């Protein structure tokens, strides 16, 4: 983890009077809550599901419309497994929260995305130890200005 960037973001976001030399655990202890930790656990350790040899974010295929879309893409045969996985296995960081882009700088969004990506790498290795995945932070959208985390399986390597 980019510790200096992380600590600087915490210092900018949370003021704790009388404590200038906090580390990340100190901030967690002083400001965080167990309920908030549970809330964010799904972002850092999302539920995964395997469908037709593809590992997918369960939240992206947990309704009938998205599941039908997945099977349609698969049946058309025009996209590879990787392309289909990329189209379902992503989160756009600012849109995970109702406050949207307003409470983080672009640098802080990227830092959060890198932390999410690191966690997803660990989750994928733990859940699927015999498979290889690429997890990356990317800019997406029409103007390529939205920070996202995406993963797909590296096949044939």
> What would the pLDDT profile of 55-89 be if each residue is shown by its tens digit?
999 999 888 887 788 888 888 888 888 988 998 99
Residues 115 and 139 placed together within one structural domain of the fold: yes
Look up the pTM and report it.
Answer: 0.87
Buried b vs exposed e over 118-145: b needs ≥16 C-beta within 10 Å? Answer: ebbeebbeeeeeeeebebbbeeeeeeee
User: Per the structure, how many domains does the chain have?
Assistant: 2
| pLDDT above 60 (res 100) | no
Residue 143: pLDDT band by 50, 70, 90 thresholds?
A: low
Residues 75 and 112 placed together within one structural domain of the fold: yes
Tell me how far apart the alpha carbons of residues 28 and 18 are, in angstroms, rounded to a whole number: 16
| pLDDT above 90 (res 148) | yes
- Is the model more confident about 106 or about 121? 121
Residue 97: pLDDT band by 50, 70, 90 thresholds?
A: confident
Residues 99 and 120 placed together within one structural domain of the fold: yes
Structural domain harbouring 2: 1-32
* Residue 91: predicted pLDDT: 93
Residues 84 and 25 placed together within one structural domain of the fold: no
């Amino acid at each position: 983890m980019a510790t200096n960037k992380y600590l600087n973001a915490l210092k900018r976001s949370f003021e704790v009077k009388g404590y200038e030399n906090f580390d990340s655990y100190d901030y967690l202890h002083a400001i965080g809550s167990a309920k908030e930790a549970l809330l964010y656990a799904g972002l850092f350790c999302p539920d995964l599901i395997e469908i037709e040899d593809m590992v997918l974010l369960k939240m992206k295929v947990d309704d009938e419309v998205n599941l039908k879309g997945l099977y349609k893409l698969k049946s058309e045969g025009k996209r590879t497994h990787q392309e289909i996985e990329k189209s379902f296995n992503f989160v756009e960081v600012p849109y995970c929260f109702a406050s949207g882009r307003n409470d983080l700088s672009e640098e802080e969004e990227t830092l959060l995305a890198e932390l999410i990506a690191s966690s997803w790498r660990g989750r994928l290795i733990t859940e699927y130890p015999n498979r290889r995945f690429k997890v990356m932070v990317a800019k997406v959208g029409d103007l390529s200005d939205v920070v996202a985390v995406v993963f797909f399986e590296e096949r044939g390597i």
